[in-house]
Amino acid sequence: MTLLLMKPTSAGKDTQHERDQTLKKLACVSNQWGPLLIDSIILMFSVLAQFLLMRRRIETWICWLIVDTVAVPLYASRELYLTAFVYGLFWCNAWYGLYSWIKIHRAENAGVPA
């Protein structure tokens, strides 16, 4: 099922009235743009962190910390307390991962087993 929000005019361009109607329909779905932007930031940094993890870069843990630090208040503000709690656990895991990787990196550079 396809829902067309905007219908082009005969000239192929939208009129101001049609654009206003589309914005009104979108406003019925959500009148808060902030959470959408924050959710996009969470997605962007999650994808970045995953790519860094595939390359085994230590910066991946910094990205995961950013994701988790932003996600916890977002989900708590939306009353998704269980999800916020899980992201809080992910935040602790990211700190432990960063600590472990720094420890391993220092041991490799010093020539001492971790």
CA 29, 34, 35, 39 torsion: positive or negative? positive
Contact indicator for 38, 75 with CB cutoff of 8 Å:
no
Look at residue 1 in the predicted model and tell me its pLDDT. 44
**pLDDT value of position 92:** 97
Question: pLDDT under 50 in the chain at which residues?
Answer: 1-4, 6
> Is residue 83 within 8 Å of 42, Cβ to Cβ?
no
pLDDT of residue 14: 60
The predicted model scores a pTM of 0.66
59 sits in which H/E element: helix 59-77
Domain positions in the chain are 37-110
> Which three-class secondary structure state does DSSP give residue 93?
helix
What pLDDT sits at residue 31? 55
